[in-house]
Structure 1
Amino acid sequence: MKAIHETNDQLREVAWMHYVEGLTQAEIAARRGLSKMKVHRIVQAAHDAGIVKIFVDGVPSDCIGLETRMIAEFGLSSCTVVPDPDAPHTMDGTMRAVASAGARFLHGRLENTEPMVVGIGSGRTISEVVKALPRIKRRKVEFISATGEFAALSAANPFEVIHSLIDKTEGKGFAFTAPLVVDQAEDRALFLRQKSVRRSVEHLRNAAFIVVGVGHIGPGSFFQEFDLLDDAEQAELGRTGVVADLAGNLVNSDGGFVDSGIALRMLGMERDLLRSREVIAICAGLEKVRAARAALRTGCLDGFITTRSVARRILDTA
């Protein structure tokens, strides 16, 4: 079985970006999270496979164009837009395609054999990305949770996400030993004083990059699925204008962070880290368009991975 970075799809994709879009190999490396040497080898492999002719066969050129528009619109350093599968353009229908792209990005970054700290979010999307990641032995890599944990046992729980990464890479991992949502604002301060939590926060400050999902508010959200908030609390989110969760930080439709109500009870990633680290968000499903647009408007994202339908809808309403 071929590794995820050796597929014909990636040969065609990189060939299109280089020969049709006119991107340099260094620009492709930055956009896709690969080393420049890897991009060079992929370009050569595309030649050897006969993919590079007068034009590149089978590449969705509109996806590359959408990436370029997203980068320009939201000041991103990288963007990956994948075609929607023949399924409903919902989170469930497009998850596999987006998770594969996210796994390819993460695998490319993990090709670096130097010691590295990687921040990891939680939720269903990140869980599926980790499932799609092939095994790669990286004992010098440390994975750090970006948020507190869910109460419910699930593969999407931050603890399970970190555990799966350790299993696939033989690296090390640290999870927040605290819930994502606490009962009172005073409880949040208490947890943040715990040595284990402080250690995780300090490790996260050394992250080379951080990969997160985009949480939406409303039906099908992780707040609802994992019973993190009751009906009254979820209604409160709507009244205060919250449309998205970004690594445990609540965001309104204008891209502003909310600092009242339930936001004061969440153990998420510190704002200064969101702004100072390289943050890549992965998003699947049209139900997340409003949340994704808000997350992009924060100005905290450096990279974004999504589907054609989501990218189009975001740009149409930007």
Structure 2
Amino acid sequence: MKSGSDTHDQIREIAWMHYIAGLTQSEIAQRRGLSKMRVHRLVQAAHEMGIVKFFVDATPADCVALETELIAAYGLRSCTVVPDAGLPATMAGAMPAVASAGARFLHGRLESTEKLVFGIGAGRTMSEVVRALPRIRRRKAEFLSVTGDFAALSAANPFEVIHLLIDKTGGTGYAFTAPLIVDTPEDRALFLRQRSIQTSFHRLRSADLIVLGLGHIGPGSFFQSFDLLSDGEQTELARGGVVADLAGNLLDADGQFVDSGIAQRMLGMDRALLQDREVVAICAGLEKWQAARAALRSGHLTGLITSRGLAEKVLSVV
């Protein structure tokens, strides 16, 4: 019998990956962020429900193929590509499916009863992921914001994202008590000397997993949506070759960090903390394809959860 948290679509997807795509249960567990026991239970449920015959119906084989390509091209450990389901390949169209996949991944990691420390990004994508996350009581879970706040009071604010995670899990959480962008480099230096900021960076050193969204530059970006930068400052970013924001760090199209200009005023995650740990980005919509490719090229991602349209675009542009 399947549990309440095992949806029919998930059981069907795991069955397809195992029996048609030929992935082992261990490989599926790593790619989907699930325990091996959970994958075994899902495979067993597929048998009990009678959906495993000669093939698994209505499962997107092309998505699994895209996952395999992305893993090979960028050295990822895990990857999930969700179908566009006939919806526009924009952020708005792709968000529901991508957020659901992100919530499933996070829920899989929260199945562990051991103490786990999560670095959590903010923004619209992470807000939707956390909203889609089922309640799961994990008092040993600790959630740490990886960037400063957006000032605007919205569900995408880091404080709101962390608060909702605490509410859904019963765990503990700590917000990054500073703005994302300050007025001058001198202000940034002053904030970085504050004990609360140093404590946040110290806590993040113990993070087992970093889960975050990716910011892009241009129309519809969070810089624009939350009035974080003026039109002139956004133009400055684009002229400087910036295409992505990764945990409050700016990247150019080659995945190199940009340290000049506005980057000198941003309070994001210490980039050294992105190394030698699991970092999974969740990204929806073709608007973000350059940001996704830059983050992948940076070598700091170990996992990606995205939509089919975006995955195809990233793979099609050398």
Question: Shorter-chain TM-score category?
Answer: over 0.9
1:289 and 1:314 in contact (8 A); partners too = yes
* Residue 5 of structure 1, CA deviation: 4.2
* Residue 3 of structure 1, CA deviation: 7.1
Cα distance in 2 for partners of 1:196, 1:24 equals 45
* Residue 4 of structure 1, CA deviation: 7.5
Bigger Cα displacement from structure 2, 268-277 vs 234-243:
268-277
Counterpart of 2:169? 169
Runs of 4+ in structure 1 off by over 3 angstroms are: 2-5
Counterpart of 1:247? 247
Cα distance in 1 for partners of 2:312, 2:10 equals 22
SS in 2 for 1:276: coil
- Quick one: structure 1 residues 142 and 287, their matched pair in 2 at CA, closer, same or farther if it must change by over 3 Å? same
Q: How does 1:23-102 map to 2 (within 5 A)?
A: 23-102=23-102
* Residue 12 of structure 1, CA deviation: 1.1
How many positions carry a matched residue from both structures?
317
Counterpart of 2:13? 13
Q: How does 1:123-142 map to 2 (within 5 A)?
A: 123-142=123-142
Cα distance in 2 for partners of 1:62, 1:93 equals 19
1:3 and 1:134 in contact (8 A); partners too = no
Q: How does 1:270-309 map to 2 (within 5 A)?
A: 270-309=270-309
Residue deviations 1:189-243 (CA, integer Å, cap 9, x gap): 2111212111111111111101010100011100001011111111110111000
* Residue 86 of structure 1, CA deviation: 2.8
SS in 2 for 1:181: coil
**TM-score, with length taken from structure 2:** 0.98
Counterpart of 1:265? 265
Counterpart of 1:317? 317
Cα distance in 2 for partners of 1:232, 1:99 equals 32
1:144 and 1:174 in contact (8 A); partners too = yes
Cα distance in 2 for partners of 1:189, 1:139 equals 35
User: Unmatched 5+ residue regions in structure 2?
Assistant: none
Matched residue type, 2:156: A
Cα distance in 1 for partners of 2:189, 2:3 equals 44
Report sequence identity in percent. 70
SS in 1 for 2:263: helix
Residue deviations 1:58-94 (CA, integer Å, cap 9, x gap): 1110100000001001110010000003322111111
* Residue 180 of structure 1, CA deviation: 0.4
Residue deviations 1:118-162 (CA, integer Å, cap 9, x gap): 010010000000000000001111100010111111100001100
1:117 and 1:142 in contact (8 A); partners too = yes
User: Unmatched 5+ residue regions in structure 1?
Assistant: none
Matched residue type, 1:314: V
Counterpart of 1:117? 117
Counterpart of 2:202? 202
1:4 and 1:134 in contact (8 A); partners too = no
Counterpart of 2:220? 220
Counterpart of 1:183? 183
SS in 2 for 1:301: coil
